[in-house]
Structure 1
Amino acid sequence: MTTAHPAALGKVCVLVPTYNERETLPALLHALHAQVDAVDLDVLVIDDDSPDGTGELAEQVAARDPAVRVLHRSGKHGLGRAYLAGFAWARAQGYDTVVQMDADGSHQPVELPSLLRAARDADVVIGSRWVPGGSVRNWPWHRRALSVGGNLYTRLLLGIPVRDSTAGFRVYRMTALAVMGLEDVASQGYCFQVDLTLRAIDSGLCVTEVPIEFVEREVGASKMGGDIVREALLRVTWWGVQRRRRQVTDRLTREVSWHRATE
């Protein structure tokens, strides 16, 4: 069942998880103000006790800017848990729409208005690199191959139409999150994004992709490691096996029921 959507997005909160993003966070917050000043929008910085003082810097910004809030977490617990904490905080504060956005400059604030416009007619909007009009900048060939291949593997194995299910620049209606069964989400990293994509589709929600240009970070180090890739491969494979098994079981059940009905 697809949700009916009012044109208005209501109160919007941009969730920005951080871990050692002191050098890039101020520019992101400034750019967000410049792009979406006509929207009732706040920013929640979710800091995992960054050793470089990102959390303290965010507090300094929040002291001057009432649209910026800070949620501190004790230690580095992963991207998935950071977003789940942000979803819970935004729900408790009465927000109607949440945005997922990286703090490293790879997600450009100039792209946000187009995602928000698409959210007027959708439950979930994904800023996609791999739909027509989408692109990446400054990626080596092996990163491009890993992303394209991983998304193709995910799409074929899970049988879903989304072309960039690992994308992290997203908009969620709070009403969508409420029916996606987030209580048992355990995945992290890119796999977290695939997990939520799958849950949204299986919940009958309207998921749409909007082309964006993804820009490789110029400051700091990427947090993508082998453990993140392995988690995604293992979980997606397991989910795919489960889905195929259910499909076979459902088909056999329907055939048995049909034969019994025609005897």
Structure 2
Amino acid sequence: MTERTCVVMPTYNELENLRPTIGGIFACRPSVEILIVDDGSPDGTGELADRMAIEDPRIHVLHRAGKNGLGPAYLAGFAWALNQGFDVICEMDMDGSHRPQDLPKLLDALAGGTSGAVPDLVIGSRRVDGGRTEGWSAFRDLISRGGSWYARTMLGIDVRDMTAGFRAYRASMLRALDLDAIEANGYVFQIDMTRRVAAAGGRIVEVPIVFPDRVRGKSKMSNAIVVEAMRRVTVWGLRRLLRK
């Protein structure tokens, strides 16, 4: 029996990326469905998403009022997809940094691949053999590597790319987590999800991906997001050490 897969894609001002990214996904894996979670984009992203959903029944749209953060957008998407009965739920950026041609690698790995061992979470990783970034400055790469190293060290989790946002989850794993307890807003949401899956005894696998810099639109990264990540990871890490 074929597993139903939903790719959750938060958007804020991604009008020019919508059609090329979604078209690329369907070209690589026509059977998936896509949920666009739009945070009231003023550039018309939500309106175009609605039109695309009318054109293609594989596309769904969830509108949220205002820009409330990456974590809450994904949690809203997870809740919708779980309610719809999907078996596999993916995270993917709309800006083109997550290449559609890498999606089948994540899904094949989640199905067990050649190993036969079925993971609960597959991460598209820039930091394992075969994975890499393209178009990044040395400083940006250093910050990314340093952030993953810090999170990995503080939390004691053997995942090379802790901040990666290209992911495939088993719905059964998401149902086992207390998603209502998650408070992370920015990219630290990815670290929070990783630690929760690990704490629940979930099997995590990383597969190599190529991560190009976005070619259209503006990055959503900010100093506030970095500060939130450092603060939360430090608190989680200290709690872990105190429990030992």
Q: TM-score, normalised by structure 1?
A: 0.89
Q: Find the partner of 2:36 among 45, 49, 54.
A: 45
Q: Secondary structure at the match of 1:187?
A: coil
Contact 2:68/2:185 (8 A) holds in 1: no
Q: Please, which of 3, 10, 17 is the counterpart of residue 24 of structure 1?
A: 17
1:99 aligns with 2:98: no
Residue deviations 1:106-153 (CA, integer Å, cap 9, x gap): 000000000000101210000000011100000011110000011111
> Which one-letter code corresponds to 1:186 in the other structure?
E
The separation in 1 between residues aligned to 2:187 and 2:146, in whole angstroms, is 14
- Report which of the two structures shows the higher radius of gyration computed on alpha carbons: 1
User: Shift of residue 12 of structure 1?
Assistant: 0.4
Query: Is the 8 Å Cα contact of residues 12 and 42 (structure 1) preserved in structure 2?
Result: yes
Q: Is the 8 A contact 1:9 1:97 kept in 2?
A: no
Contact 2:121–2:167, Cα closer than 8 Å, also in 1: yes
Cα drift, residue 9 of structure 1: 6.0
Equivalent of 2:46 in 55, 75, 96? 55
Q: Cα offset for 1:220?
A: 1.1
Partner Cα distance (1:226, 1:194) in 2: 17
Identity of aligned residues (%): 50
Gaps of 5+ in 2: 112-117
The match for 1:4 is none
Corresponding residue for 2:186?
Answer: 189
Do 1:25 and 1:103's aligned partners in 2 also have CA atoms closer than 8 Å?
A: yes
The one of 159, 171, 175 equivalent to 1:174 is 171
SS in structure 2 at match of 1:33: helix
**Given that residues 14 and 99 in structure 1 are in contact (C-alpha distance below 8 angstroms), is that contact kept between their aligned partners in structure 2?**
yes
Q: Which residue of 1 aligns with 2:100?
A: 109
Is 2:76 the counterpart of 1:76? Answer: no
TM-score by length of 2: 0.96
The alpha carbon displacement at 1:96 in A equals 0.9
Q: Distance in 2 between matches of 1:82 and 1:190?
A: 12
Aligned residues: 238
How far apart in 1 are the matches of 2:79 and 2:149?
31
**C-alpha root-mean-square deviation of aligned residues, in Å?**
0.8
